[in-house]
Structure 1
Amino acid sequence: MSKAMSPYVNRDLSWIEFNRRVLEEAQDPTTPLLERAKFLSIVSSNMDEFMSVRMAGIQDQLKAGYTKIDFTGYTPQGLWKRLIKRTGQMVSEQYRTYREVMRGLAREGIHIREMDDLNASQAAAVEQYFRTIVFPVLTPMAVDQSRPFPLLHTKELYLAVLLRDPDEELEAEPYFAIVQVPSILPRCVALPVRGNSKKLEFVLLEDLIRTFIHTLFSGYILEAVHPFRLTRNADLTLNEEGAEDLLEEIEKELRRRRWGMPVRLEIADGFHPHALDLLQEELEIGDHVVRIGGPLDLSFLMRFAGSIGGKESLRYPKLEPVYPRELEEHELIFDTIRERDVLLHHPYESFEPLAEFVQQAADDPQVLAIKMTLYRVSGQSELVQALAAAAEAGKQVTVVVELKARFDEERNIAWARQLEKAGCHVVYGLVGLKTHAKILLVVRREADQLRRYVHVGTGNYNDSTAKAYTDIGLFTSHPIIGADASALFNEVTGYSSPYEWQAFSVAPSGLTEQLFRLIDRERRHAEEGRGGYIAAKMNSLSNQEMIDKLYEASRSGVRIELIVRGVCCLRPGVPGLSENIRVVSIVDRFLEHSRLLYLRNAGEEEVYLSSADWMTRNLTRRIELMCPVFDPSLRDSLIALLRLQLADNVKARELQASGGYERMRPAEGEDPLRSQFQAERISSWKKALPHLEQA
């Protein structure tokens, strides 16, 4: 390793590389066109979160005069400059790709038109739409001595308007006003069909408003109208110790988020310099102004692509999740789980059994209690409805709702209030810790004993994301796991002395230590000639101590293969440090979200599933859970799944020592293997996964 190269990749620069991999999917000509549009939307949404959280944090450090070098070798000042340059390059590349995708869609008869391109009937239709639907919603906000600069909300689209009084001199300073493009209306407005044409045509809402904006300013001459968009610091700053009611405190912080410090200003190319000067002065935005060569905020493409009827050739083949056949053996899910553990693999298998399980528990007179953690929940959650029904049926229902799930706080507050009204005991976790563990416990009276039924998962109890994220869930009635599950809820909801976990490893109290023990055990196996092998899958790896532990194992001869979708601060392939470590990232149709750990353990194989990434926040500031998979057949299935993904040579990228990624390609004579599509084609993936060559 060169003297200039840090042993670690910077977290934020690694994130840039991840978003670049997402952008590559939008650039890939083999990706269907409407899916390419969706990937462009994801790039924008990712960038918004990065700006409002990560860049905002660096900005706070700069304002505080913080100059300390982080463990990857960067000061806040140096990192800020590097990130501004890298994100600017990515935006330029994103909009080049946008224009390419739009040209491709146009060849397929799907157009986003300029207002000047409309025929007479289309122009009349959009004018009618403006007058009846749009105009009543618009509010012009003038800025002058009597009317102060308005509060601009984060990530909303606005039009900056410069006006002249026809009675004043031309040299007079123009008047300035702001008009918000209403987010409550569709961003893409469908146009009437031209004659017998089969083309689908749209105009953007902001272009429509610009065309008729003079109706808001009668008597004035329009000089310029240009769109802009502001991103604010969106990190919540909570004083949990001093908050009498955490729910109310978070509601207050959500209101404060609207006027967090500006982080980024996006403007359209050609933006009037006078309007820009006014915005920069009022917002104190500094020089982080991004000029955009196209529509601002491409996140609208997700809804746009979903609104296109037909055109199935422009999408991925439709996936219908299968119902797990193991759960069809008995009418009640309890009867199956009592006989055997069951593994669920989303999105290839349906999320329905989770809601059914809770609904059956609600209807079953033998069920005494239901306990569950909720981190991110969908807008129309059947699971929450089932929990409410269980409480109304007289069950003891306890729900740990994480109010501090970033950007889902408002939805979680609404669910918390609804569950409380239904009679559930709602708990907001422990002070200073987010509850990120995914666990569901049902206590049932059977004969002369109580039996615990448990579901442990790697993903949120969210039926919407379960269709787009790959996650693993385990149904079990194993008594040791059941006892640990009860103890975990007792620790979160009440006062409980430290518990000696039998199966679980729980953060922040012991998960790191257990991971270190398991890695050290593989290291000893390697040093004593029994070989050592670790395979792990996660979303992010950024904890320095964990990386150092993996480096130590690598130097002792342990072979380590990591599937890390997003941020990875570990630098693989460095002689004398990490030459035994391989890191791959898979970015494909579904978001890889499951967290798995496999250790060969000198032939006594062990597999764990977890809610935790190997990041400092997960290991030290969250309640996280890692659970062993005891059933040998299920263990073998997960090992086969890891091997399948490690063999992906279509959508996998391998991390290089430089910090960049290289796309995997089939070797000469080797067949292409796309792991997600391999899993998708089989109705029962657990039985049919190929047993690839042993690692």
Structure 2
Amino acid sequence: MTKTKDNKKVDFEDPKFYINRELSWLQFNERVLSEAEDLSNPLFERLKFLSISASNLDEFFMVRVASLEDMINADYKKLDIAGMTAKQQLSEVLLAVHEFVTNQYEIYNNQLVPALFKQGLIICKKEDLSGKDSDFVDSYFDEFVYPVLTPMAVDSSRPFPLIRNKTLNIGALLKKKEGKDDVEFATVQVPNVLPRIIEIPGNNKENQPKKIIFLEEIIQKNVSKLFLNYDVLTCSPYRVGRNADLSIDEDEAEDLLKEIEKQIKRRQWGQAIRLEVEKGTNSRLLRFIAKELAVEDNEIYSIDGPLDLTFLMKMYKLEGFDDCKEHRYKSPQMVPEFMDDDNVFDVISRGDILMHHPYETFENVVKFVEKAAVDPSVLAIKQTLYRVSGNSPIIAALAKAADNGKQVTVLVELKARFDEENNIVWAKMLEKAGCHVIYGLVGLKTHCKITLVVRREEDGIKRYVHLATGNYNDSTAKQYTDVGLFTCAPAFGEDATAVFNMLSGYSEPLGWNKLSLAPLWLKDRILDLIKREESHALAGEPARIVAKMNSICHKEVIAELYRASSMGVKIDLIVRGICCLRTGIPGVSDNITVRSIVGNFLEHSRIFYFENGGSPEFYCSSADWMPRNLERRVEILFPVENEKLRQKLWHILDTELRDTDKAHVMNDQGIYVKPDLKSVEIADRVNSQMIFGEEAERNAKVMSSQNTRVFIPEMKV
């Protein structure tokens, strides 16, 4: 128990003050789904959001639901942040997911399919085909599909096959045309080497609707061709979700790379934790599949529509529907500071540079590494890599640097979930190129984003540093909002060197100039900054916290925010995903607001503002306020001290706090609602992502045509 400003005793760690992490994540996915329902979004953008909600749900099951199942199987008794057991969590999660899936398909069937029909896109069912359309589908099956399929029977000599994670399959019950009346089971995988969406040719008339059919429908229509001596009594598609969370004992693993490679292969065959079947599936067929996969009734999802809605992302790419897509968002713009000088090192030497992606291009980060790789004055390049693109130019540049004789050290995090296989490939390639590759630290994930370039110049050795909130991934940098800082300030250079010495060896610095690192120092730094605002509030001085991040579920940090709120500190949180904090609790969180922005880009940056009694401080970080980030990962928090750059950060925070179009605000019931726009004039409405895109385009045009200053609004707190 601690006392509030009003001298009331409150236990800020009371479980009733917290929201369960998994249920909070499901609320986030509901916000994604709401964008699929939002009529203000173009039709094909709504398809995209529905696809994203399905992809999110897949990963949620493979990791979070799987984790709950593991806890129950291990008889894990510890309560979560909201005071729930693993069994209680799983029960509520599955209940919520069933409702969520129902909502997904109501939107698909009742809103999107009719809207697609009006736009001239007809989704055909096998039973609706006739004439030339039916002949085309049968011919397509014979020519392209049949040779690829491998039907698998199940009997006394052939056990139930291993059904791979997330694959789409068709199960069938068969009976021999002559002989016994025994019913047999067979299954066939819908091949992922063929397109899921097949266009049925039309008659080329103008304004002719486009007809498509799904691959599984084609297979079902022709399934009897796979079992010539049998009558097919019934057949239906099904899909299995499995536990895909890797379990690695790093202390016992002699070779971490080999152990992870082995675990990746097992991921496809983990315990089945979700079974999706088509609505109306024959009960006998369903019972057989469920029994063989050992799934419970509450793990079975009866789907009123096509299984696996992630295919809608492919439908988004269909030609001929440009009018149904969003074109107002601008492509990444040139960073003004880099427009006049091709020498990246000269530009950084003139002053710190803060980039806001994807509104400003990530290309300058790529060029930074590429220039360092060929610059004869560069002696060493050191970089951490968590997730990189499939054909990464940064990897190519690092390999080239090593080939050019430079000292290249790269920490490749092999434990980056679902990117392990990709990272192993890159790590091996870098090693062959002559780079010194580090495979992370035992027991920790290295999640920080930092690059250090050491260069010999006329006045001695100079260190150039890039720090960021997002990954060194040129592909996702076009879709994720992040910020990155270039600096050559000596204090940052010294700290960057210390970071890599710590990662590559056993050197633990006695102190830091500018950076704060997890897992040893960052959590305490965050808590100290919050407590400092409490002190300012008690002294009657300006006290405010604005924090933007992906997730917040660290109980100690939330409790400190509650304490600060009770002392009068105004706290505004911009949290895209999980938020275990509740707003509007009398005497506890009256001064806290929480908003989530779900838009065309994935909000990924971590930006923190502390008013500090009228002397504001700004920080950016790779870390969310979660136990895994602050206690089990290597993360970095870095200050932004240049006044112009601080104004740029404040503009980001302030604009997002004023967002009316893409923001969802948490109410005192812990439920997110969109702002009521009935009384808001159109001129006063704010779409923060649209504004940032327009400003980046305007800045680039102004700099290229007039060579004048960049537009950055004044900081008004």
TM-score, with normalisation over the residues of structure 2? 0.94
Query: What amino acid sits opposite 2:182 in the alignment?
Result: E
Select the residue among 479, 490, 509 that pairs with 1:498: 509
- Answering whether residue 417 of structure 2 is matched by residue 406 of structure 1, we say yes
Distance in 2 (CA, whole Å) between partners of 1:522 and 1:318 is 37
Partners of 1:195 and 1:677 in 2: CA distance: 38
2:88 equivalent to 1:84:
no
**What residue is the counterpart of 1:146 in the other structure?**
157
Of the candidates 232, 237, 240, which is equivalent to residue 230 of structure 1? 240
Q: Does residue 46 in structure 1 map to residue 56 in structure 2?
A: yes
| Pair 1:296–1:689, CA change in 2 (3 A) | farther
Q: Which residue of 1 is the match for residue 6 of structure 2?
A: none
In 2 relative to 1, CA 318–568 (structure 1 residues): closer, same or farther, beyond 3 Å? closer
Matched, 1:176 2:185: yes
Structure 2, gaps ≥5 residues long: 1-9, 700-708
CA contact (8 A) 1:326 1:342 kept: yes
**Contact 1:542 1:614 (8 Å CA) reproduced:** yes
Deviation at 1:669, TM superposition (A): 5.2
CA distances 1:316-335 after superposition (whole Å, capped 9, x unpaired): 43521111021112111111
1:240-389 → structure 2 map (5 Å cutoff):
240-287=250-297, 288-389=299-400
Partner secondary structure for residue 506 of structure 1: strand
1:691 deviates by 4.7
**Take 1:640 and 1:318, find their aligned partners in 2: how far apart are those partners?**
19
8 Å CA contact 2:329, 2:693 repeated in 1 = no
Farther-moved stretch of structure 1 (112-121 vs 342-351): 112-121
Q: Secondary structure at the match of 1:463?
A: coil
Q: Which segment is superposed worse, 534-543 or 76-85?
A: 76-85
Q: CA deviation at 1:153?
A: 0.8
CA 1:243–1:684: 2 relative to 1, 3 Å: farther
C-alpha displacement of 1:666: 4.1
Q: Which amino acid aligns with 2:619?
A: Y
Structure 1 counterpart of 2:33: 23
Equivalent position SS for 1:6: helix
Superposition deviation, residue 66 in structure 1: 3.1
For residue 691 of structure 2, the aligned residue among 660, 678, 693 is 678
CA contact (8 A) 2:248 2:259 kept: yes
Distance in 2 (CA, whole Å) between partners of 1:496 and 1:672 is: 52
Matched residue, 1:468: 479
SS across alignment from 2:309: coil
Deviations 1:537-563 (A, max 9, x none): 000000100101111111111111000
- Find out whether 1:660 has 2:671 as its counterpart: yes
- What is the correspondence of 1:608-623 to structure 2 with a 5 Å cutoff? 608-623=619-634
State the 1:91 CA deviation: 0.4
For residues 64 and 616 of structure 1, the distance between their equivalents in structure 2, rounded to whole angstroms, comes to 21
SS at match of 2:84: coil
- Partner SS for 1:48: helix
- The residue type equivalent to 2:51 in the other structure is S
Partner of 2:593: 582
- Hey, what's the Cα distance between the residues in 2 that align with 1:641 and 1:112? 42
2:11 and 2:130 map into 1 onto residues whose CA distance is 63
**Partners in 2 of 1:332 and 1:14 — Cα distance?**
47
Contact 2:47-2:316 at 8 Å conserved across structures: yes
Return structure 1 stretches of 4+ with deviation > 6 angstroms. Answer: 1-5
- Relative to structure 1, is the Cα distance of residues 198 and 455 closer, same or farther in structure 2, using a 3 angstrom cutoff? farther
Partner Cα distance (2:465, 2:269) in 1: 43
Structure 1 residue 192, shift from structure 2 partner? 0.9
The separation in 1 between residues aligned to 2:323 and 2:711, in whole angstroms, is 28
TM-fit CA distance, 1:158: 0.5
Q: CA contact under 8 A between 1:652 and 1:664: conserved in structure 2?
A: yes
Q: Determine the C-alpha separation between the residues in 2 that align with 1:90 and 1:620.
A: 32
**One-letter code aligned to 1:542:** C
- Alignment-derived partner of residue 200 in structure 2: 191
The secondary structure found in structure 1 opposite 2:16 is coil
Given that 1:10 and 1:72 are in contact with CA atoms closer than 8 Å, whether structure 2 keeps it comes out as: yes
The whole-number CA distance in structure 2 between the counterparts of 1:179 and 1:674 is 47
CA deviation vs aligned residue, 1:454-504 (integer Å, no higher than 9, x gap): 111111111111111111011111111111111101111112133411100
Contact 1:32 1:316 in 2 (8 A): no
Distance of 2:662 and 2:452 partners within structure 1: 37
Say whether the 8 Å CA contact 1:539–1:567 is kept in structure 2: yes
Please report how far the alpha carbon of residue 119 of structure 1 lies from its aligned counterpart in structure 2 after TM superposition.
5.0
Q: Secondary structure at the match of 1:139?
A: coil
Alignment coverage as a number of residue pairs: 692
Shift of residue 522 of structure 1?
1.0
1:549 aligns with 2:555: no
Alpha-carbon distance in 1 for matches of 2:62, 2:77: 21
Give the equivalent residue in structure 2 for 1:638: 649
Give the residue type in structure 1 aligned to 2:268: R
Deviation at residue 365 of structure 1 after TM alignment: 0.2
Identity of aligned residues (%): 47
Paired residue type of 1:565: R
- Cα RMSD of the aligned pairs, angstroms, is 1.8
Task: Name which of 426, 435, 440 aligns with 1:424.
Answer: 435
- How do 1:181-220 and structure 2 match up within 5 A? 181-196=190-205, 197-220=207-230
Structure 1, residues 180-200: CA drift from partner, whole Å, max 9, x if none? 011122111122123415422
Mapped to 2, the partners of 1:616 and 1:367 lie a distance apart of 38
The answer on whether the counterparts of 1:468 and 1:590 sit within 8 Å (CA) in structure 2 is yes
Q: Look up the match of 2:535.
A: 524
> Residues 218 and 689 (structure 1 numbering): CA distance in 2 closer, same or farther, change over 3 Å?
farther
CA apart distance, 1:230 = 0.6
Q: Deviations over 1:291-350 (max 9, x none)?
A: 000000000111220233452343343521111021112111111001111111111111
More deviation, 110-119/340-349: 110-119
Amino acid at match of 1:168: G
- Residue aligned with 1:299, SS: helix
- Greater Cα shift, 562-571 or 339-348: 339-348
Comparing 491-500 and 371-380, the one that deviates more: 491-500
Encode CA deviations 1:656-675: one digit per residue, 9 max, x unaligned: 22211111234735511111
Cα shift readout 1:23-71 (whole Å, capped 9, x = no counterpart)? 0000001111101000000110111111111111111122223344323
CA contact (8 A) 2:542 2:614 kept: no
Measure, in 1, the Cα distance between the counterparts of 2:246 and 2:11: 40
Deviations 1:184-231 (A, max 9, x none): 221111221234154222110111111112111111111111000111
Aligned to 1:62: 72
Q: Which residue of 2 aligns with 1:649?
A: 660
Question: Which of 626, 633, 637 is equivalent to 1:626?
Answer: 637
Tell me if structure 2 keeps the 8 A contact 1:333–1:357. yes
For the residues of structure 2 that align with 1:669 and 1:240, how far apart are their CA atoms? 56
* Unaligned stretches of 5+ residues in structure 1: none
CA distance in 1, matches of 2:123, 2:315: 10
Q: Give the letter for the 1:187 counterpart.
A: R
Q: In the alignment, what sits opposite 2:704? A: none
CA distance in structure 2 between the partners assigned to 1:227 and 1:372 by the alignment: 46
Structure 2 distance, partners of 1:53, 1:25, is 24
Distance of aligned partners of 1:689 and 1:648 in 2 relative to their CA distance in 1, 3 Å threshold: farther
